[in-house]
């Protein structure tokens, strides 16, 4: 549906976007993730026809849209909701109706559509309230309704839940799913919340230094990062240097901190690599490792316990090797885990992701 071709954007001699290319498919939710200040908002503003790129092309169904006139009907196919909730100093009714009035809809049709949208966003009965008195989550729902009441084909969202509490975030996410699945709206969104990206997106792109350095399915990006930078950003806590020392039974054996780790890789023997192992892929025992198909079994000592919500990361040291394993609070209590306890870690060869040393910045 949308082809982004080598987009650059320069502000005062600095390139905020440095050659962004991607194809976004009709009817999908496409999420852009990445650290702050990497160009996500600028790209969305270009896609939303609020900025023009310094160079490059954006094609909508094969037609360039970067030099449209202000009254070109293509603009009506694209709606954008911003991170900061926009509420005019007027009633909720007039806040949502403004787009239909610009399009010269009749009063009766506006009222019918508006009452339907209020029901859709869970704000029935709010039409006469001052929009500026609403909570942040309610204002964001009004912003969504203001855009969606005009029936855009493409909805662009710039970190739509960045300043919202968990309950409001869930409401907004459910609305995004509804607009995408039930109405067929193509959604392009940026988010700082990696878990939100995994919950909502069909595909995701990682933006760093003004360009996409990896894009693909949620599974591809979050389990097969293309570089150390991506692996660190998506939260893979175990990133280790190593060298492939031999091939054995169809597996690669990597030496890291004097410990051999088995992995699946077609990278040649003798290559310096980085290993990435997600903490949730590691099983922790306090006795001998139970019988399993895991090829990697490492004994060590608990160094620290770091709580993250309902789970915790257990730091384990084995010689010079440091690993983190993810466990639940219940497991911590049942195993009586504490610093100094001897434990055994196990993980399967497919759980070890291999990246060639030196590939820190990207592979697109």
Task: Check residue 174 and give its pLDDT.
Answer: 93
Residue located via tokens 């990133």 = 239
Task: Check residue 236 and give its pLDDT.
Answer: 84
pLDDT at residue 363 greater than cutoff 70: no
Q: Distances in Å between the alpha carbon of 159 and those of 3, 43, 80, 196, 288? A: 22, 13, 11, 10, 46
Q: Specify the CATH superfamily of domain 2-223.
A: P-loop containing nucleotide triphosphate hydrolases (3.40.50.300)
pLDDT at residue 8 greater than cutoff 90: yes
Long-range Cβ contact pairs of 330-333 (< 8 A, separation 24 or more)? 331/284, 332/305
More confident residue, 201 or 248: 201
How does pLDDT run across 148-181, given as a tens digit for each residue? 998 899 999 999 998 888 999 999 999 999 999 9
| Confidence band, pLDDT 50/70/90 cuts, at residue 87 | confident
Over the Cα atoms of the chain, what is R_g? 25
The whole-angstrom separation of Cα 26 and Cα 46 is 18
Do the beta carbons of residue 43 and residue 17 sit within 8 Å?
A: yes
pLDDT at residue 362 greater than cutoff 60: no
Report how far apart the first and last C-alpha atoms of the chain are (Å, whole number).
21
Strand pairing of 29-33 and 186-190?
parallel
More confident residue, 183 or 293: 183
pLDDT at residue 291 greater than cutoff 70: no
pLDDT at residue 358 greater than cutoff 70: no
How does pLDDT run across 263-287, given as a tens digit for each residue? 998 888 998 999 999 999 999 988 7
The whole-angstrom separation of Cα 156 and Cα 30 is 10
More confident residue, 1 or 291: 1
Buried b (16+ CB within 10 A) or exposed e, 220-251: ebbbbbbbbbbbebbebbbebebebeeeeeeb
| Confidence band, pLDDT 50/70/90 cuts, at residue 360 | very low
More confident residue, 100 or 362: 100
Task: Check residue 289 and give its pLDDT.
Answer: 58
Reply yes or no on domain 229-356 having CATH 3.40.50.300: no
Task: Check residue 100 and give its pLDDT.
Answer: 84
Q: What does pLDDT average to over the chain?
A: 89
Q: Can you point out the beta strands (E) in the chain? A: 2-11, 14-24, 29-33, 55-60, 63-64, 78-81, 154-158, 186-190, 203-208, 211-217, 238-248, 251-256, 259-263, 272-277, 283-285, 296-308, 311-318, 321-328, 342-347, 352-356
Q: What are the residue ranges spanned by the domains of the chain? A: 2-223, 229-356
Task: Check residue 71 and give its pLDDT.
Answer: 82
């Amino acid at each position: 549906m949308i082809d982004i071709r080598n987009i650059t954007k320069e502000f005062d001699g600095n390139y905020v976007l440095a050659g962004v290319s991607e194809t976004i498919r009709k009817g999908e939710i496409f999420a852009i993730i990445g650290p702050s200040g990497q160009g996500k908002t600028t790209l969305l503003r270009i896609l939303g026809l609020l900025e023009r790129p310094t160079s490059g092309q954006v094609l909508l169904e094969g037609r360039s849209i970067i030099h449209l006139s202000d009254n070109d009907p293509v603009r009506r196919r694209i709606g954008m909701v911003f991170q900061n909730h926009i509420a005019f100093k007027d009633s909720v009714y007039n806040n949502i109706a403004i787009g239909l009035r610009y399009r010269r809809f009749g009063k009766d049709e506006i009222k019918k559509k508006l009452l339907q949208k209020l029901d859709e966003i869970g704000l029935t009965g709010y039409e006469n309230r001052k929009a500026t008195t609403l909570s942040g989550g309610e204002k964001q729902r009004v912003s969504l309704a203001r855009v969606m009441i005009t029936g855009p084909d493409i909805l662009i969202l710039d970190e739509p839940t960045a300043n919202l509490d968990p309950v409001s975030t869930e409401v907004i996410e459910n609305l995004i799913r509804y607009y995408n699945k039930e109405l067929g709206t193509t959604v392009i969104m940026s988010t700082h919340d990696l878990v939100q990206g995994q919950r909502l997106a069909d595909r995701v792109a990682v933006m760093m230094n003004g360009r996409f350095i990896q894009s693909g399915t949620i599974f591809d990006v979050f389990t097969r990062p293309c570089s150390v930078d991506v692996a660190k950003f998506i939260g893979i806590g175990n990133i280790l240097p190593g060298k492939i020392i031999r091939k054995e039974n169809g597996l690669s054996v990597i030496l890291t901190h004097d410990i051999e780790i088995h992995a699946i890789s077609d990278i040649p023997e003798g290559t310096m690599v980085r290993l990435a192992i997600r903490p949730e892929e590691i099983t922790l025992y306090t006795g001998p490792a139970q019988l399993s198909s895991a090829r990697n079994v490492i004994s060590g000592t608990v160094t620290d316990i770091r709580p993250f919500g309902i789970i915790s990361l257990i730091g384990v040291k084995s010689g010079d090797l440091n690993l983190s394993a993810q466990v639940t609070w219940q497991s911590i209590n049942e195993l009586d885990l504490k610093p100094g306890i001897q434990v055994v870690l196990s993980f399967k060869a497919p759980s070890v992701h291999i990246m060639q040393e030196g590939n820190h910045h990207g592979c697109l």
